Amino acid sequence: MTLSRDEFLRSLPAAVGHAAFRVHDGDIRPLDPAQPWRIVLAPLPDLRLGMITLPRQRVEIFLADCSDEEAKRFLARFELYFRRAGG
């Protein structure tokens, strides 16, 4: 993703349905053990386009103990809240 860690963390609550979570380094986990997700965030080298510099993050989402339908709903919501410039 082309955004800073702070930008990611500002958008994350809405993307995960306002579930409470904890952040430890790049590991993000819900406080409710019934939530099936875990996210790992790692910085990537900035993307440079001429005079423009864009921060980047590698985002890995892990889903466990959920149906395919639940996983699709989670990922659709997550994507919706991180979509930029109309998709």
| pLDDT averages per 10-residue partition of the chain, 87 residues | 92 94 96 94 94 94 94 94 68
Which strand (E) or helix (H) includes residue 61? strand 52-63
Domain 5-82: CATH architecture, name and number where available: 2-Layer Sandwich (3.30)
How far, in Å, CA of 82 to CA of 80, rounded? 6
The pTM (predicted TM-score) of the whole model is: 0.88
DSSP H helical segments within the chain, as ranges?
A: 5-15, 68-82
Nearest to 61, CA basis, from 51, 52, 72: 72
